[in-house]
Structure 1
């Protein structure tokens, strides 16, 4: 198509096309994701007709030979409509995830920009339409997705600090093209859209037309199926939430006995929901019965573990733990000065001086367990093995290795004064600590 499109002036778009765009409300800033293609170009015009203060964002993936021309087109289009445009180039990295191709890598790159861009109460409009939804449902079906995937793309969902909305999801692509041509719009065709080595292109070009010829109204049929799957997914999530609450409702722990009382289907559903609720991708497992058997039914002296990309599921003393991937710890001990703070993995440690702080206060040192440490709860009291105390407190083994131990003084006379946020010497806690220094130890994650 010809570059340098002019605004659609004087064309009366039908109310059925304008209505879902007009219905967008409750935003502080309204953005349109502008690729330069037919769909997003038309959506930009519709948004400009229905709302004031519209903004646009163009992601330049730098993958096509015409990427520069497309960026210029978007700039000229927005200038003609008086719409501010944000252009963001991205570098698409292949192989970032298992089995991830160019399509998925590019998608992740642009959504990362969108998440960073959106501020609270911002709304980003995307031009996905009915054919895109049909393509998505078929694509996910061919990949073996469950009801959550087969529910297709939602009309709206949270994104970053804002929201994503798809007002054209119920409109056929042929209808969008009809009105775009009648309005005299121009756009830029992405040459990669005809390359059938990409799965979605193959579905769109070779599969969907044949299915539509055999079953007229296919998109509507698939929307109906997607809606039914969406309802099933909602009920699955609601069941998981109710069962999670009945088991204690902890973000990072589930009792093994409670899980074991559920059916296999309920266990799988609850674990998927629990992991996603914590902000992680649910594990894709071909044999859940084997994995759950290992996690829930292994002998008490065993410590089974399921590793995922950035977390793991572990069992300890009758509970299943969701353990985030741990940040690296300092390789050497850290000296903490009064008035300063230190980061120790997921821990933040601060030393706050009071008016009674002494200039020659003993040094404060942070390190991890080396073996043989002992603690004394009261001055002159009996000391106790740290290893035994941690076992008594039911601290999981993987956490014992990361706990910041805080000492005062100089070896070999130094004294243990705090163990993570589990215990702190009375000399260094409270609003008026006897040592004149208040020690605050906080864990950054639940």
Structure 2
């Protein structure tokens, strides 16, 4: 359903509350408007055209067609027409949401959101800014929704006004404005927009909060939106302090190979341990598990006997203990394929970066260094002139965790092992004056 007219407001009719957040944006980089076709995003597009059209980086709109609603194509056509009338480039991307694997209506919301943000990240240019029209009511719904899910301070902080996204950043300039303010301006100026029929379906959790819960709260407490906003800001401050504390604790307990030393971790209080683990998992870009009983999980990870191998399984990762250290291990990353090192060109290989670089003027004979995981039966000579050792036994002696041994980069030359991760590099390719005139540089991506 399309609502409203299509006339532009006079310059004097724009309230400063709508324009001030946009004028405060840094005047650099391309600007992208997330245009759903709904009232709030239509107001945002008009406001951006009014005061940001002359931006050096340019202004464009992005519409994502989820292909979920009967009027999805009509909404796409409306967005194209609106952008054409305003002289704004309109990018349209169609996505397919995997409805069969979403686990009900709530799952459908999550799947659609994930698909949407994947497009946003891909569409953002280097240094670009994506503007989204979330407002105070959206923030209140988010805070209530997360409260009912049992979220902690970080979740109850709600949506941030801005955050990094892809190669740029996401900004929500209307986050301190109510839906009523935006709708009042849209109605007075005669804008047209498209109503999403699914927004009335209270089977969706957010719609239930929007149509059933928040109206009652507003009747009882007219300033409930501002109150929830203040609570979210307080939770955000608490979450920032918790992150600062986690960084300090991480410096105290981190091991040299990117893990956490269990003995030092056990000296922290239970809340401090939980705070550190949640921060550590989040820093890797992984979803933090919503565990009902972190106390039992922490007790198992830090207190189980040496003969035990306790684990905490999350989405896409496993937290494992080995020889007094906790490791965060990816459970989805495939093993890299074997390849050859190209002289002078860094090779990204799983969690590693390896480079074969000349120490002196490159000789005509360039070493042929093969990069792969262990194939079985390899031997190395860790001490020049000493006996050779089975690589499998040597890795055990170096206390390399079993799951790491299978992923370590092993470099060979004519079948001879010349490097094993960053644990050992043959003198032929190490030191200030390597014997072959070439140096192998091995770097690992970790904390």
Q: CA RMSD in A?
A: 2.9
Alpha-carbon distance in 2 for matches of 1:428, 1:226: 55
Alpha-carbon distance in 2 for matches of 1:146, 1:432: 54
Aligned pair 1:394/2:399, yes or no? yes
Alpha-carbon distance in 2 for matches of 1:358, 1:165: 54
* 8 Å contact from structure 2 (residues 4, 190) kept in 1: no
Q: 1:304 aligns with which of 282, 300, 310?
A: 310
User: Structure 2 vs 1, CA of residues 57 and 326 (structure 1 numbering), >3 Å: closer, same or farther?
Assistant: closer
Aligned pair 1:61/2:66, yes or no? yes
Alpha-carbon distance in 2 for matches of 1:23, 1:342: 42
1:25-424 equivalence runs, <5 A: 25-52=26-53, 53=55, 54-94=59-99, 101-248=107-254, 252-325=258-331, 327-329=333-335, 334=338, 336=340, 345-347=350-352, 356=363, 367-369=372-374, 373-377=378-382, 380-409=385-414, 414-424=415-425
Partner SS for 1:416: strand
User: Structure 2 vs 1, CA of residues 357 and 45 (structure 1 numbering), >3 Å: closer, same or farther?
Assistant: same
* 8 Å contact from structure 2 (residues 261, 326) kept in 1: yes
* 8 Å contact from structure 2 (residues 320, 328) kept in 1: yes
Deviation at 1:222, TM superposition (A): 1.2
User: Structure 2 vs 1, CA of residues 155 and 39 (structure 1 numbering), >3 Å: closer, same or farther?
Assistant: same
* 8 Å contact from structure 1 (residues 126, 165) kept in 2: yes
Partner SS for 1:403: coil
Structure 2: where are the runs of 5+ without partners? none
Deviation at 1:386, TM superposition (A): 2.7
Deviation at 1:385, TM superposition (A): 3.5
Deviation at 1:248, TM superposition (A): 4.3
* 8 Å contact from structure 2 (residues 7, 189) kept in 1: no
TM-score calculated relative to the size of structure 2: 0.88
Cα deviations by residue, 1:182-230 (Å, 9 ceiling, x for unpaired):
1111111111111111111111111111121122211112112212222
Partner SS for 1:57: strand
Deviation at 1:300, TM superposition (A): 1.7
